[in-house]
Structure 1
Amino acid sequence: MSRPDASGAPAAPLAVTLGEPSGVGPDILLMLKASSDGRLPPLFVLADPSMLKARAERLGLAASIDVAIVGSPEEAGEVPARALAVLPLAERQDETPGTPNLLNGIGTIAAIDRATGFALDGQASGIVTGPIDKKALYDVGFRHPGHTEYLAELCSRRVGIDLTPVMLLTGPELSCVPVTIHIPLAEVPRQLTSELIVTTCRITAADYRRRLGVAAPRLAVSGLNPHAGEKGAIGAEDEAVIRPAVEMLRAEGIDAIGPLPADTMFHPPARARYDVAICMYHDQALIPAKTLAFDQTVNVTLGLPIIRTSPDHGTAADIAGTSKARPDSFRAALSLAWRMAEIEARSGATQR
Structure 2
Amino acid sequence: MEVIWSGKLPAYWSIANWALLTEKHIVVLFRDMASNKRKLRVVYINDRTVQERITKYNALIGSLGPDVLLTKVEDARAHDQLSFFGWLNLDNLKMKWELLQSALIEKFSIPYTLDRLTMSYSCGLMKINLITGDVIPLTKPSPLSGIWNLGEMEMQHDSNRKGLFIKCGDQVVVQLNDFLGSQYQGALGDWLFFLLPSNDLVCIEKKTGNCLWKVYLNSLTRDGRPKGKIDYYNETCYRNSFIANILINRDTIVWATDRNEFYSFHIPTGKKGRLEKQQNQFLVDINNKFLLTLTIDEELEVGNLTLFDLEEFFDEYQYK
User: Larger radius of gyration, structure 1 or 2?
Assistant: 1
Greater share of strand: 2
